[in-house]
Structure 1
Amino acid sequence: MNDQIRPDPPADTGPAVGYLDFARVGPLSRPAAAAIAEATGLATRLDPADLDLLFARADAARDSAARLLEARPHEIALVPSTSNGLFTVAAALDGAGTVLVPRDEFPANLYPWLRFAARGGPAVRLVEPAGHRHLTPDLLRRHLTPDVTALTVSAVDSLTGHPAPLAALKEVLGPGRLLIVDAIQGLGSVPLETKAADVLVSGGQKWLRSGWGAALLLIRDRCADRLRPGLGGWAGVTDPFAQRHPATPLPGAAAHLATNPDFPAAAALGAAIDDLFDQGGPAAVGARIRATLAELLDRARRAGADVLLDGLDPRERAGIGTFRLPGHDPATVHRTLETAGLITTRRGEWIRLSPHASTSTAAADLLTDALRTLTRPAPHPEPHPKPHPEPHPEPHPEPHPEPHPAPHPAPHSEPHPEEPTCPTS
């Protein structure tokens, strides 16, 4: 194993021209890679001041996240992943009541509620949105029975790219019910109505391009007293070495910490958020992403593709667009795109495109060329001319043989083994 730590990422790192899969995972950005290298260097050396520097990097990441989410720093904790954050919230909810979950939610925002419902937590009720669109305020209103205590939604649908109307949903819920948001498909790609979220969780490995190992957990002060530290461990209390346990929880979201963060991952997350602001912030980056996606979907339409939720205004779609090519096997379409250098995701019959602000126009040209190979008519082979038959020469007359005496008839015998006995042989 090579234990040498490279201080800076190679200058030529970065996604390929045809990388259109940021909704699955975003290749590590240079600022994030540099932050990981720097933090790993500190952890490798670990002089007396280095551990303090690592904690400082995590605190800086939390401060940057607070700026992004329009929150106070103490309302944010760093957890290992989006899934871990959602399980943390599910463990913190009181057992009474019901959590509403859209039926087509990404599984990471379904399993925490199901698992804890089976262990005495709130019941789960699935809500069926209409026509691949996100949950609407009217539909939510029809499902608001007195037992409902929370709604959990993705900020952006992972298949269609349709953003949830977070502010309108929170208005329907009112102050007495929680709006819990899985923001990973929107944070870093488009502006989000984050102020509407009572609780928000998001990793950074997709649109923020910070890699795995650190995620944001936002718990607003306005609802903190309704969430008990179900998974909060020694790192979430004021005195971990108290004589009596459990000790008093830390204020804010830190009460839900199980342990210390992954420091290199936390540093990368903070660097990625800072880089987002250096590029103009969510609004500027989102405008570039939406323009690039609109061009890609237009190229797909020109090739005869069906676009999922094609009636959406570009502002009603985040960084995700999905299409299918009628009459063509989806697996074949996906392989053809990959062969052409286009990295996408296939979900059943749909091909998902998710570019970033750095995606160049060359990706749209690659898409056009790849789809053209599938949709252009196959050339008809030229018919081969029939060969002219060779003229048969006139037969020469055989000379008449001299007459011989008639032979005596031979006795009956079996034919010779090599002699054909059937005229078609």
Structure 2
Amino acid sequence: MTPVLDKILAQEFPQTPGLCYLNHAAVAPWPQRSAEAVRRFAEENVSRGARDYPQWMVVEQRLRERLMRLLNAPSTDDIALVKNTSEALSFVAFGLDWAEGDQIIISDEEFPSNRVVWEALGSQGVEVIKVNLQGDDPEAALLAACTPRTRLLSISAVQFASGLRLDLARLGRGCREREVLFCIDAIQQLGARPFDVQAYDCDFAMADGHKWLLGPEGLGVFYCRAALRPQLKLNEYGWHMVEHVGDYSRSDWQPAASARRFECGSPNVLGCMALEASLALLEEVGLEQVGQLIEQRIGWLREGLVQIPGVRLHSPADPERRAGILSFSIAGQDSREVWQTLMARQVVCIPRGPGVRFSPHFYTTRAVIDETLRIVREVAQQ
């Protein structure tokens, strides 16, 4: 990092002495500017109420524009602000018109958000096919599972436990050739690496703001290809999702042509304040540089962990197959007990899959990595 960037990050992420925060794939700390944006918003509410509501909507529009650029969506009309990834997945699952015998392809490593929602369609006769990703060519395995009855392939860009990153452009091409809809749970890539809905040729993509995007819980993004918006049956209605929003005396109405049709009611303005500020920081740094810095930190962790006797890594070694997640276990030790010991020693991480998951962000310092490795070595020697 440059001295200028070092200075910015020292201001944005003041380090709590002794704390090693390696849990961005779960819930990330906010940058200082996001906390300041929420503080200002709270003070405005206390002193002036909603007098400046039009200015709040200016921030919301800036957020939509930042999300459009972050996903490389064609337009802000393709962007809906949602509560979370699960809500956006539900818009797809319960918006499409299914027939008995239709198939959905997912992997056998998915976070429940990208599994339960599809399994819930079982009462309609929809079959969920779970594909093993452990072979040399997981993309080929996913595409090979498609049959003439396959309607949709839904996959996490990065698997939450192993950290396996998939070739989304290849999957997008394969889905288009097979006339299969392509849905991406982007939560473990968006904010950690560049993401491009047009290059991936996907139909739907969604993510929460509270992980790699460094924002609050309760606000996420849903991208829906323009041609498919009218095909998704709506299950939520309200004043905000209509075409002529704000015209309260109008008796006739229709859903908005834009992705706002998925936003039934009042926006999460407080969340918008925080997430917009967080995305401003990511844009200043640049997603290419963010990805490179995260890769560097994953490299530091890997180099250190492989030198510790008894440590086994569960995440891909190939940089083309990984993002910000590194999972490990210690021979002869229960991973949940290892996690509890690490947490007690101020290494913030989480148990996932067969091991303990580390997930540093671009601002994580070398000192934090080195201290974490020192503690893991001591735990391994117990």
Q: Which residue of 1 aligns with 2:4?
A: none
SS in 2 for 1:93: coil
**Higher relative contact order, structure no. (Cα contacts within 8 Å, ≥ 6 residues apart):** 2
Q: Which residue of 1 aligns with 2:271?
A: 265
List aligned pairs for 1:2-21, cutoff 5 A.
14=14, 16=16, 17-21=19-23
CA pair 48-82 structure 1, distance change in 2 beyond 3 A = closer
Matched, 1:354 2:359: yes
SS in 1 for 2:20: coil
Contact 1:92 1:229 in 2 (8 A): yes
Q: Deviations over 1:137-163 (max 9, x none)?
A: 321232221221211111111111111
Q: Deviations over 1:189-211 (max 9, x none)?
A: 11234322211111110111111
Tell me the CA shift for residue 132 of structure 1: 7.9
**Residue type matched to 2:134 in 1?**
G
Q: Which residue of 1 aligns with 2:90?
A: 87
Q: Deviations over 1:357-391 (max 9, x none)?
A: 11111222222322332344x7xxxxxxxxxxxxx
Tell me the CA shift for residue 70 of structure 1: 0.9
Matched, 1:321 2:329: no
Counterpart-to-counterpart distance in 2, 1:48 and 1:178: 42
Counterpart-to-counterpart distance in 1, 2:287 and 2:122: 36
TM-score normalized with structure 1 length: 0.79
**Residue type matched to 1:322 in 2?**
S
Q: Which residue of 2 aligns with 1:53?
A: 55
Counterpart-to-counterpart distance in 2, 1:13 and 1:283: 20
TM-score normalized with structure 2 length: 0.87
Matched, 1:331 2:336: yes
Matched, 1:225 2:233: no
SS in 2 for 1:254: helix
**Residue type matched to 2:42 in 1?**
T
Tell me the CA shift for residue 178 of structure 1: 1.8
Q: Deviations over 1:225-248 (max 9, x none)?
A: 33232334332112465435xx31
Aligned residues between the structures: 360
CA pair 220-38 structure 1, distance change in 2 beyond 3 A = farther
**Residue type matched to 2:306 in 1?**
R
Q: Deviations over 1:216-275 (max 9, x none)?
A: 11112143233232334332112465435xx31101211111212110101222221111
CA pair 174-291 structure 1, distance change in 2 beyond 3 A = same
Percent identical residues: 26
Q: Which residue of 2 aligns with 1:30?
A: 32
Q: Which residue of 1 aligns with 2:107?
A: 102
Please, what is the CA RMSD of the aligned residues?
Answer: 2.3
**1:238 is matched with which residue: 243, 246, 254?**
243
**1:278 is matched with which residue: 281, 284, 305?**
284
CA pair 131-61 structure 1, distance change in 2 beyond 3 A = same
Q: Which residue of 2 aligns with 1:169?
A: 171
Unpaired segments of 5 or more residues in structure 2? 1-10
Counterpart-to-counterpart distance in 2, 1:282 and 1:86: 25
CA pair 157-34 structure 1, distance change in 2 beyond 3 A = same
Counterpart-to-counterpart distance in 1, 2:46 and 2:121: 39
Counterpart-to-counterpart distance in 1, 2:12 and 2:79: 34
SS in 2 for 1:352: strand
Contact 1:14 1:28 in 2 (8 A): no
Counterpart-to-counterpart distance in 1, 2:12 and 2:297: 23
Q: Which residue of 1 aligns with 2:206?
A: 201
**Residue type matched to 2:32 in 1?**
R
**Residue type matched to 1:253 in 2?**
A
Contact 1:210 1:272 in 2 (8 A): yes
Tell me the CA shift for residue 27 of structure 1: 0.9
Tell me the CA shift for residue 285 of structure 1: 0.6
Contact 1:330 1:348 in 2 (8 A): no
Tell me the CA shift for residue 45 of structure 1: 4.1
Counterpart-to-counterpart distance in 2, 1:348 and 1:156: 14
SS in 1 for 2:347: coil
**Residue type matched to 1:210 in 2?**
G
Q: Which residue of 1 aligns with 2:130?
A: 127
Counterpart-to-counterpart distance in 2, 1:132 and 1:211: 36
Contact 2:336 2:356 in 1 (8 A): no
**2:154 is matched with which residue: 139, 152, 155?**
152
Q: Which residue of 1 aligns with 2:79?
A: 76
Contact 1:80 1:261 in 2 (8 A): no
CA pair 213-178 structure 1, distance change in 2 beyond 3 A = same
Greater per-residue helix proportion: 2
**Worse overlay, 14-23 or 59-68:** 14-23
CA pair 140-62 structure 1, distance change in 2 beyond 3 A = same
Counterpart-to-counterpart distance in 1, 2:298 and 2:110: 22
Counterpart-to-counterpart distance in 2, 1:375 and 1:21: 20
